[in-house]
Structure 1
């Protein structure tokens, strides 16, 4: 009897496509949802990697120009009214407020330093929102995908036990396909969750380093303007 059951089990197709095709409608929905989450996570990972690399490159180019000794007014005029890079936007926000703080007679309006700092902080906050956009989705996938996959597994095991009860047959050929289909959902959940967690931590750390550079530049720029204000 056991030999016959083993022979029947060996004839069953256990490929991933076959397991997916034999799964119940609910488990299929779970698997498809996890696949979509995994695909979207990788799209965010690739896009953020390219974005952060461009941000670091742009910051390096701007820092070289800022510390080259070129007058700040000339640098601001060269950047123009619509700066492209994040560092340029922060610098332009500070310079714009610096110019607006001058009266027509050349004097400064009171509270210029605080307004300049606030303008650059607002610019940094905007860039932070752009850099961190999508990272919360990675965190969500990393924390929920295993449980979503586990739900699919539990549902699949439930269906398998129902089939066993209906057929009143507990041999390997009856039990194995349903259990394998159910476990596939947990496997897909882990495949979606593990890269999301790993790259969320990496990208979040990269984002903090980039924003730390922006904040350091804003402090240095504010110090330069403060000297001119005191003068």
Structure 2
């Protein structure tokens, strides 16, 4: 007899359907809203991941090409006119900011880089530009940082609400058979599953992308430091030539 009841209950569960679509369609309105919100967040997470992947690959490629040109021994003035004056990528922006400040300071004050605080202004221009480029490259990462820890709790809220709804159905039907309990519990747990599927990529991507951005920031800092040293040496050579 018990075997017949259990088989009947399992048959009812299978008839109700436990596919993701069925679980969504049969969920309560609150759980549906939670699922929809998490799905939209997941779409946003993957959009940011794709955008950052292609962005970082592009800026690293452009930085390599620019560094090759910079270290080729060509004229810095010509490189400034072609790339630095209207920069299209972060490393060119750092170069343009430093070179532009050096040229303006030397022209206005009529003194060399090593005197009158011009070197400090060049270093400050490099630092400001690196910070601005880091902010631009890291835009929307805060979304990943928020979704990573929050999404599981949002999914858990949907689970708790779904379980409460399932117990309400049990109380209304005065029936504790599996056919009554399983669909509601499954719908509730599905919300947590969506929350985890949303949170895990966000958390991993935030750390991976953040590490890549840190490496590129170090690359910009190193280039800025080397370029400031080059400008300083050129200024010293000019000063010695005037003596």
How far off its partner does 1:2 sit?
3.0
Q: Are residue 57 (structure 1) and residue 61 (structure 2) matched?
A: yes
Supply the distance in 1 between the matched residues of 2:91 and 2:181 (Cα, whole angstroms).
61
Q: Helix, strand or coil: the match of 2:62?
A: helix
Question: Which residue of structure 2 lines up, in the alignment, with residue 177 of structure 1?
Answer: 183
The runs of 5 or more residues in structure 1 that have no matched partner are: none
| Aligned residue runs from structure 1 range 218-229, under 5 A | 218-229=224-235
Q: Are residue 31 (structure 1) and residue 35 (structure 2) matched?
A: yes
Question: Which residue of structure 1 lines up, in the alignment, with residue 15 of structure 2?
Answer: 11
Q: Give the conservation status (yes or no) of the 8 Å contact 2:84–2:93.
A: no
How far off its partner does 1:80 sit?
5.5
Q: Are residue 46 (structure 1) and residue 27 (structure 2) matched?
A: no
Structure 1 pair 208–80 and aligned structure 2 pair: CA distance change class (3 A): closer
Q: Helix, strand or coil: the match of 1:102?
A: helix
How far off its partner does 1:105 sit?
8.1
Q: Are residue 125 (structure 1) and residue 144 (structure 2) matched?
A: no
Q: Are residue 113 (structure 1) and residue 119 (structure 2) matched?
A: yes
Supply the distance in 1 between the matched residues of 2:110 and 2:220 (Cα, whole angstroms).
30
The runs of 5 or more residues in structure 2 that have no matched partner are: 238-243
Supply the distance in 2 between the matched residues of 1:146 and 1:3 (Cα, whole angstroms).
34
Q: Helix, strand or coil: the match of 2:102?
A: helix
Q: Helix, strand or coil: the match of 1:53?
A: helix
Once structures 1 and 2 are overlaid, which stretch shifts more, 197-206 or 29-38? Answer: 197-206
Q: Helix, strand or coil: the match of 1:70?
A: coil
Structure 1 pair 165–21 and aligned structure 2 pair: CA distance change class (3 A): same
| Aligned residue runs from structure 1 range 80-99, under 5 A | 81-99=85-103
| One of 126, 133, 142 as aligned partner of 2:148 | 142
Once structures 1 and 2 are overlaid, which stretch shifts more, 172-181 or 108-117? Answer: 108-117
Supply the distance in 1 between the matched residues of 2:162 and 2:190 (Cα, whole angstroms).
10
The ranges of structure 1 where at least 4 consecutive aligned residues each deviate by more than 6 angstroms after the TM superposition are none
Question: Which residue of structure 2 lines up, in the alignment, with residue 203 of structure 1?
Answer: 209
Supply the distance in 2 between the matched residues of 1:206 and 1:154 (Cα, whole angstroms).
38
Structure 1 pair 10–107 and aligned structure 2 pair: CA distance change class (3 A): closer
How far off its partner does 1:104 sit?
6.0
Q: TM-score, normalised by structure 2?
A: 0.91
Question: Which residue of structure 2 lines up, in the alignment, with residue 101 of structure 1?
Answer: 105
Q: Helix, strand or coil: the match of 2:22?
A: helix
Q: TM-score, normalised by structure 1?
A: 0.95
Supply the distance in 1 between the matched residues of 2:156 and 2:165 (Cα, whole angstroms).
14
Supply the distance in 2 between the matched residues of 1:85 and 1:121 (Cα, whole angstroms).
16
